[in-house]
Structure 1
Amino acid sequence: MEDSTFYCKDYLVSGEMYRLERWKHYDILKTEPVPENLSAYYKSESYISHTDASKSFTEKLYNIVKTYMLQKKVGWILKEKSAGKLLDIGAGTGDFLKAASRYFKVEGVEPSKVAREKAQKKHLRLKKKLSEISDKYNIITMWHVLEHVPNLEQQFKEFHRLLNDDGLLVIAVPNYKSKDADIYKEYWAAYDVPRHLWHFSKKGIQTLFFENGFQLFHSKGLKFDSFYVSMLSENHRADKQNLFKAFKNGLKSNLSAARSGEYSSMVYFFKKTSK
């Protein structure tokens, strides 16, 4: 999307329309207006990051890919840090922490009571808020969480407070400059308004983090996300699943990203540049 402002619909809960505007001088979009009671917009059985359900085809596919990607994510981190304390912010039902606990001492934060209760069944006790944590960590991860954070300025303060000076910060977010975002436009499922308050590009997130004391030193594309997001986007655009078209557009996005580096979702690896 090259326009500075456009509109998207909440397909999951309310059916309401939201405005996406360029934010400050960054290559980042912001959702407006932000609902006063944002937590109400997460109350859906379809909100997949807070459930372990595996009933529908989409849920089954999501969980198969999730299991594979958990090991990949842990492997990426092990290449940078082979041991230490890891904090996962927005830990959901705790699957990543469970996988990471084989190699690291892990802790997690998750505001959803439902998700925390599911994590507890996996022998993980998650904190409700970051303010409950006072320790320092070698690694902090946020897997598709930063786009949900209401106050980015406060979030950066917490990163500096909680991360060791030689620590690793790993952030995964959707990329609105990807080919699948361009194909589906306002129907692109990863806009997910109003739950997604921020919409990042590769350039935008690099500039934002650098100005807040973090240097990007590596990034990777999450190649499966283009297929999953395309499946959901087909539902938004045509009110039905077209698996062939979704697969074709997901593949088209990844082939485009192989040249441009702009994958549907990106993982960014940062280190501190200031204390």
Structure 2
Amino acid sequence: MVVKDHAISKESFIICACKNCQLWFTNPRPDEKNIAKYYNGENYISHQNKNKGITDFIYRTVRKYTLRQKLSQINSRSKHKGKLLDYGCGLGNFVKVCQENGWKAYGMEPNEQAAQIAKNQTKINLIKDLTALETEKKFDVITLFHVLEHIHQLNKTVKVLLSKLKKRGLLFIAVPNRESQDAAYFKENWAALDVPRHLYHFNETSMKYLAEKNDCRITEILPMTFDSYYVSLLSHQYSGSDNNYLKALKSGYLSNKAAKKNNNYSSLLFIIKKK
């Protein structure tokens, strides 16, 4: 599949498929030295701290709710509020919410611009990189919310994160689900493909393969129902549709309705434990 970077560069990229594990991957892709420029744009909202229009406003309004939802999901599955790491924390909003709720929370953010905002404005505890992480004591919870698909050194990073997770700790990984109805409807214009920032494109099978490869098991798979609406909104914009907001409501609703039968929501949250 040939997919255009609608958000920033307007360049096109190819998505390939692995026959063994069903993982899709962007290929070729920018290396770690050159990927930064594909994040440094006004349209990449998760690394910006400004409101520039109604789409940004909707994103930030929904984010306030989903931050509390994520916290509730973690609290309901944790016996105590211990040590938490949000890997790929962006501007640090979720770390701050966790800190205010009693967690000893830390963030890690590879993007220098976002990390600087997290440090100076959000004022969270930041761990610089994987090398610095290796000196930390283990965590009760590690979260990656829409981050795994961005990581260049996927296997190495997963191994390091698991090595810093307590034996009974929980790993929360949220990723777009390429088998959702909105993905099938929009095809190469599905906004959650987000090339070249998304290096990988998961489904339930490829996530299970990754977990088992690292001697882990998936204990729960939860829907992220708001994602279908926001992704549909961007996808309609990329497709050049009129009445984007009304169409996004319809597309998001229909995607969530279809997912009730097979759990193929636009995004899925995988809760993972070590075996």
TM range (shorter): over 0.9
Which residue pairs with 1:267 in the alignment? Answer: 269
Residue 125 of structure 1: how far off its partner (Å): 3.5
Which residue pairs with 2:61 in the alignment? Answer: 64
Code of the aligned partner of 1:206? K
Give the whole-Å Cα distance in 2 for the aligned partners of 1:132 and 1:182: 41
Code of the aligned partner of 2:116? E
Q: What is the TM-score when the length of structure 1 is the normalising length?
A: 0.94
CA deviations over 1:148-195 (Å, ceiling 9, x no partner):
001221022212221111110000110000000000000000000000
CA deviations over 1:39-95 (Å, ceiling 9, x no partner):
111110111111122231011111111001111100100111131100010001111
Which residue pairs with 2:112 in the alignment? Answer: 113
SS of aligned partner of 1:62: helix
Residue 210 of structure 1: how far off its partner (Å): 1.4
Q: Give yes or no for contact 1:112–1:128 (8 Å, CA) kept in 2.
A: no
| 1:16-95 alignment, distance < 5 Å | 16-36=11-31, 37-81=34-78, 82-95=80-93
Give the whole-Å Cα distance in 2 for the aligned partners of 1:241 and 1:19: 29
SS of aligned partner of 2:122: coil
Q: Give the counterpart of 2:170 among 168, 171, 174.
A: 168
Give the whole-Å Cα distance in 2 for the aligned partners of 1:130 and 1:20: 28
Q: Following superposition, which runs of at least 4 residues in structure 1 exceed 3 angstroms of deviation?
A: none
User: Is there any run of 5+ residues in structure 2 with no aligned partner, and where?
Assistant: none
Code of the aligned partner of 2:84? L
SS of aligned partner of 1:193: coil
Which residue pairs with 2:6 in the alignment? Answer: 11
Code of the aligned partner of 2:127? K
Code of the aligned partner of 2:108? V
Residue 240 of structure 1: how far off its partner (Å): 5.5
Q: Give the counterpart of 2:96 among 72, 95, 98.
A: 98
Code of the aligned partner of 1:85? K
Range moving further from structure 2, 195-204 or 149-158: 149-158
Code of the aligned partner of 2:220? H
SS of aligned partner of 1:171: strand
Q: Give the counterpart of 1:157 among 135, 156, 159.
A: 159
Which residue pairs with 1:132 in the alignment? Answer: 132
Range moving further from structure 2, 63-72 or 240-249: 240-249
In the superposition, relative to structure 1, how do residues 256 and 239 fare at CA in structure 2: closer, same or farther (>3 Å)? closer
SS of aligned partner of 1:169: strand
Q: Give yes or no for contact 1:231–1:242 (8 Å, CA) kept in 2.
A: yes
Q: What is the TM-score when the length of structure 2 is the normalising length?
A: 0.94
Q: Give the counterpart of 1:230 among 232, 236, 247.
A: 232
